[in-house]
Amino acid sequence: MALTICPWKYDKTWVYSITYDEALADLHRFAIPIHEECGIPGHVEVVVGQLGEMRDLGNSSYNGYRHMNADELKALLARGWGVGNHSWSHELIQPDMVHRELGIAKDALEAALDAPVDLYCAPGNNANMSSHVLEACRKYGYLGAMSLTDALNRPSEPLFWLNRTALHDHYYAPFFSEYDPFRNIRHARAEQGWIIDYCHCPLETPIHPNKDCSHLQLRKRFETIRTEGGDKVWCAVPEEVIFYHLTRRHTQIETLADSETQKHYRLHLNDLSDRVTCRTLTLQADVPAAWCRTPKVWIDDHPHPALLTEPRKLQITVEVTHGMELIFGQSY
């Protein structure tokens, strides 16, 4: 196959996202300005039953902090952030609770934001990733579910158990640890991995050292992502990565012609969910050197510039459609 789809957008080697559980208004104090400075978008996980209210949940370390309201969340969306459902109640979700925690919560959040909510994020611990919960996630139309397992995500893996890297000051006993701004980065580079960091609300000191980092530690993490990642890391909200992942996995390439003068392909988008609203792919074609002097591809009869990434390799990043035709060739 001379035309291939890159594992990640722009043919980046690895991917970085970060999530903030509970969507607290105090993110405005440090985290959001640091994001603005670095140009990395973030993602907040909302306890829908307490939207805009002071947190009051059992003995939560975050009680007394205020959850963002709908207008504040919309403002984050406008900055390029994403919003997920962190359940209605933040309790252990029993089988008879899935309608409220996953169905009603999703509807209410989408109505408040006037925007789709495609991600579920397990509250508490992985008990909220049980089979009845994940089954309900699929039923209610989510595209993915985020866990509390500290591991990478890979281009070949399904999306209903996304792993997250705990960006915490230190870990629970007996596994005491030191804050590591390099955590999982080398691993991600070697494995074409996707890191999703997870913390709550970085302030001067971590609100809870096993659940959070400080704002200086957060800044150090971003600096490390940038210096270690350079132009090889794709920083994006989880939804954008999921859209890419699903579009790639549901696209089939048909070769219509492969001659000395032309390579002609048609794309088929098979059973791709309507909820995938951004269908961008990065495609790479192997072509003769003679076609690389003015790198170009004809997409549905319109010329588009292509990128010469290495000898005989042309690359394009394009919004794809079902039946789209691409032609590379000498005469073009």
In angstroms, what is the minimal distance from the CB of 60 to Zn ion? 8
CB nearer Zn ion, residue 21 or residue 169: 21
Closest distance to Zn ion from the beta carbon of 90 (Å): 6
Q: Considering beta carbons, is residue 82 or 123 the nearer one to Zn ion?
A: 123
Closest to Zn ion by CB, 21 or 197: 21
| Residue pair 279/239 in contact by the 8 Å Cβ criterion | no
Shortest Cβ 21–Zn ion spacing (Å): 4
Interface positions, 19-38, toward Zn ion (CB under 5 A): 21
- Closest distance to Zn ion from the beta carbon of 139 (Å): 22
State in angstroms the smallest separation of the CB of 77 from Zn ion: 20
Q: Measuring CA to CA, which residue among 71, 37, 39, 38 is closest to residue 52?
A: 71
In the complex with Zn ion, the residue whose CB is nearer, 58 or 311, is 58
What's the min distance (Å) between Cβ of 117 and Zn ion?
16
| CA nearest neighbour of 269 among 2, 5, 27 | 5
For Zn ion, give the closer residue by CB, 123 or 144. Answer: 123
In sequence order, the 6+-apart residues with CB closer than 8 A to the CB of 49 are: 88, 89, 90, 105
Which one of the spans 16-24, 158-166, 312-320, 324-332 is the region binding Zn ion (CB under 5 A)?
Answer: 16-24
Selection from 147, 72, 132 nearest residue 101 by Cα: 132
Binding to Zn ion by CB under 5 A, coded x per residue (else -) over 100-129, reads -----------------------x------
Binding range to Zn ion, per CB under 5 A, among 4-12, 14-22, 171-179, 216-224: 14-22
- 212 binds Zn ion, rule: CB under 5 A: no
Total residues found in the chain within this entry: 332
Q: Judged by CB under 5 A, which stretch of 17-25, 214-222, 223-231, 261-269 contacts Zn ion?
A: 17-25
State the amino acid at position 124 in one-letter form: G
Question: Which residue, 21 or 26, is less far from Zn ion as judged by CB?
Answer: 21
Who's near 293: CB < 8 A, 6+ residues apart?
none
Which regions of the chain does DSSP assign to beta strands (E)?
A: 3-5, 14-21, 43-46, 82-85, 119-121, 144-146, 165-166, 194-199, 233-235, 251-258, 262-269, 280-286, 296-299, 302-305, 307-310, 313-319, 325-329
Alpha-carbon span 275 to 243, nearest angstrom = 9
Window of 18-26, 108-116, 188-196, 205-213 that interacts with Zn ion by CB under 5 A: 18-26
Amino acid at 12: K
Closest approach of Zn ion to the CB of residue 49, in Å = 12
In this structure, are residues 79 and 41 in contact, taking their beta carbons and an 8 Å threshold?
A: yes
Contact indicator for 99, 139 with CB cutoff of 8 Å: no
How many CB atoms lie under 10 A from the CB of residue 78?
8
Residue closest to Zn ion when measured from CB atoms = 21
Please work out the total of residues on this chain that contact Zn ion, with binding judged by CB under 5 A. Answer: 2
Question: Minimum distance between the CB of residue 233 and Zn ion, rounded to whole angstroms?
Answer: 27
* Residue 188 CB contacts under 8 Å (≥ 6 apart), including other chains: 14, 15, 16, 152, 194, 195
Residues that bind Zn ion (CB under 5 A): 21, 123
